[in-house]
Amino acid sequence: MSGAAPPNTWVETDAQALAANVALFRARLAPGARLGIVVKSNAYGHGASLASHAFLSAGADWLIVNDVEEAVALRGYGIEAPIYICGPVFPDAAEALVASRARVVAYDRVLLDSLDAAGRAQGQEVAVHLKIETGNTRQGVALDEALRLAEHIAGLSKVRLEGIATHYADIEDTTDHTFARAQLASFRHARDAFAEAGHKVEMAHSANSAAAILWPQTHGELVRVGIAAYGLWPSRETYVSALQAHARDEDGLLPELVPAMSWRSRVVQVKRVPTGAFVGYGRTYRATHDCKIAVIPVGYYEGYDRRLSNLGHVLIRGVRAPIRGRVCMNMTMVDVTHVPGVQAGDVATLLGQDGDEHISAEQLAEWMGTINYEVVARIHPALVRRG
């Protein structure tokens, strides 16, 4: 025998939807800005290789990853475009980073020295971007320390200061952008300070998805579009802010983001359950009537959250089927009493469209008490991704 068995559960990623989102942001970019698409965490669950090739084919300039391993993986997929590592990098990863020809965000002198040594050993220059702390209190350093790091870089032979960056703390969490405006002002001050100190900065960038949609003035030389590139709004507040901006400006573009992911599984068993019988671990659901239960081979190991127990729905034959009992490690049970003809092999849609019904990442996030980012990013990377 040869060939792989068909998967029980899989993710479908629509390359045309990804391309539509790239085109949308291309049309909104400020003149001179590059379009960087974040493909970290397996491209937000969409499949790093599939999504990266689709984004570049559609016109993205850079790809952005979290760590050196992801950069190395992209090179292994045949990606030759510029790669920017936005997450932490330890000095012992310097050799692999240089070999991957990736850019990196930096805020540590030891890392800079390690990159310089690896660059000299490999005959390769490394471009770095210093992270400026403006209020997110995560990665980065204060302006005075960043300037000292720039002076240090000037004395290195194989490390080049290419840019400075920062990240907004709450631009997608509120419609009051007072704090984000203060961060932008601090970042602009930092760029001026670098220029006054004689440090050439080719690129300054702060725009994430929400800023790229709402504030053209943040675009700088690079925008770092994450969740919105996959057709998902960063938040309800971002959408409301975009609506308000559109209402004030009749010529403004209200983005029509196109979700790119569907998540599907196959029914493995349908069984009759009599009134009074319990379903699943902990006996958390008891049948109030004779019913039919379909078993789906997906659970919290695959990323289908346990918080969906007795709360969420799936779609089977275009009809909503409620979850009964607890989501298990690798199985979930749903009520299909009201769905005619369900049988083993039928497709169950966990996320996406089936007929006239649709389950969105936002709906799943609401049931789970979280955000759409977590819904898609936590789908197990071992599941098959189909284009």
Q: How far apart are CA 322 and CA 325, in angstroms?
A: 10
The DSSP line for 331-361 is -EEEE-TTSTT--TT-EEEEEEEETTEEE-H
State whether residue 193 is helix, strand or coil. Answer: helix
CB-based contact 342:317 (threshold 8 Å): yes
| Interacting residues of 24 by C-beta distance below 8 A, sequence separation 6+ | 253, 255, 256, 257
CB-based contact 304:315 (threshold 8 Å): no
Q: Which residues are catalytic?
A: 40, 281
Distance of alpha carbon 334 from the chain centroid: 29
Closest CA to 58 of 41, 77, 37, 75: 37
| Interacting residues of 336 by C-beta distance below 8 A, sequence separation 6+ | 270, 292, 293, 294, 316, 321, 342
| Interacting residues of 73 by C-beta distance below 8 A, sequence separation 6+ | 48
DSSP 269: E
* Other Cβ atoms closer than 10 A to 201: 17
Q: How far apart are CA 301 and CA 109, in angstroms?
A: 39
Q: How far apart are CA 349 and CA 36, in angstroms?
A: 31
CB-based contact 259:360 (threshold 8 Å): yes
Structure tokens at 191: 């760029």
CB-based contact 54:66 (threshold 8 Å): no
Determine the residue type at 355: G
